[in-house]
Amino acid sequence: MREKLQFYIDGAWVDPAGGVNALDVINPATEKPMGRIAMGSAADADRAVRAAAAAFPAFSATSVKDRLDLLGAIASEYQKRYADIAAAITEEMGAPAWLATQAQAALGIAHLQTAMGVLQHYKFSELRGTTMISKEPIGVCAFITPWNWPINQIACKVAPALATGCTMVLKPSEIAPFNAIIWAEILHAAGVPKGVFNLVNGDGPTVGAALSAHPLVDMVSFTGSTRAGVEVAKNAAPTVKRVHQELGGKSPNIVLDSADLEAAVGGGVKSMMMNSGQSCNAPTRMFVPAAKMDAAAEIARAAAESMAVGDPNGNAALGPVVSETQYNKIQGLIEKGIAEGATLVTGGPGRPAGLDTGYYVRPTVFANVRNDMTIAREEIFGPVLAMLPYNSLDDAVTAANDTPYGLAAYVQGAPDEARAVAARLRAGQVNINGAGPDFMAPFGGYKQSGNGREWGDHAFAEFLEVKATLGYETAAAAE
């Protein structure tokens, strides 16, 4: 049983301002508590923000070498705690141990290393004629992060913020908080100066809202649902702070007529269902040529049924979804798909056979889905695939773009044709033929999938203000 009833503020673990308001953290595989945390208040958020504000003048003045050394120390300490991070993620949000080790925890170190690589060559100033263009740290940053890829979303915000000289307060998801607590321990062991990084656990309406609205917070970066992102933006608006958001998605996956149907459909199913479908960029709407729908549905059936669901500490491909709330939402949407007339290919309501305890969902595939059906419109965030037929490529592109979201998109088929289709898709990141991750590729969305970008050098811009100093040099000196 894990327990952490303190917050990390100003370089130390401190008691909550108003006494401990404890929350049980539930293991989704057992439906039983696996730990307890304290839930913070606006007073705790204020204390953390003020610590970050006090630390900003000195930390923002550190050299690039100082910050490179600091990131290197964090990466070293992270490697020491790598197994602890992976185990916490498995226990608190249900990611299979292999996924937590090979992907979830791996992303934390990858973002640290990427930030170090960018920082080594990043130009923070440039003389244009007689004017100096400078990029300066924006100030105090508030980070509100989700439970689905928790250490990934922490690291991809904290690493570039530290690299650019910002100070910060993190509010991780209260559903999966222990990986964040280990992260705070890592930063402390690495020697991050007091006040530069602070952590306050709590919920969105209390701590998240207090951070978003705080007048000493210069920038808030939020990852989560579009609904919650709207509230963050509203809370931030009166202080006109910068708001960065990575929100929901309903990503299309267009299987072209030229694609290898077996590879494209089978790979698309497995990509979509990884992490039990709990990925904002998951390819949840698969568009296939209408004439190939029956064949594609059979391939999808086989792929989905090959994905064993079970104990995340075993060898299962899929673990449980994160919570009872999430489980019930997914069940309701599966039932909605059936009621609205989509063809249930495999899966369906209820738990997989033999799994009576735990928030396990049957890998589910629907065929012959229309783009106006609920399962094609709403983000399900579970292992549920909607397959939509198309008669012409123009129809496929139009339907793919007919969504309020625009986080990611996928295209499978002949490279030249796939590139032409990718250019027409309204999404922040397009994946052609199952390309692997690129940590220098900007990640973020169009439309209601958010604003701003994370990952690589594009992430640095989110944490920098641009200053123009006119007359920095005389005209004669500039010649």
Q: Report, as residue numbers or ranges, the catalytic residues.
A: 246, 280
Q: Residue 323 corresponds to which tokens in the numbers above?
A: 């919570």
For residue 212, the one-letter residue type is S
Q: Show the 3-state SS of the chain.
A: CEEECCEEECCEEECCCCCCCEEEEEECCCCEEEEEEECCCHHHHHHHHHHHHHHHHHHHCCCHHHHHHHHHHHHHHHHHCHHHHHHHHHHHHCCCHHHHHHHHHHHHHHHHHHHHHHHHHCCCEEEECCEEEEEEECCEEEEECCCCCHHHHHHHHHHHHHHHCCEEEEECCCCCCHHHHHHHHHHHHCCCCCCCEEECCCCHHHHHHHHHHCCCCCEEEEECCHHHHHHHHHHHHHHCCEEEEECCCCCEEEECCCCCHHHHHHHHHHHHHHHHHCCCCCCCEEEEEHHHHHHHHHHHHHHHHCCCECCCCCCCCECCCCCHHHHHHHHHHHHHHHHCCCEEEECCCCCCCCCCCCCCCCCEEEECCCCCCHHHHCCCCCCEEEEEEECCHHHHHHHHHCCCCCCEEEEECCHHHHHHHHCCCCCCEEEECCCCCCCCCCECCCHHHEECCECHHHHHHHCEEEEEECCCCCHHHHC
The total of other beta-carbon atoms located within 10 Å of residue 311's CB is 18
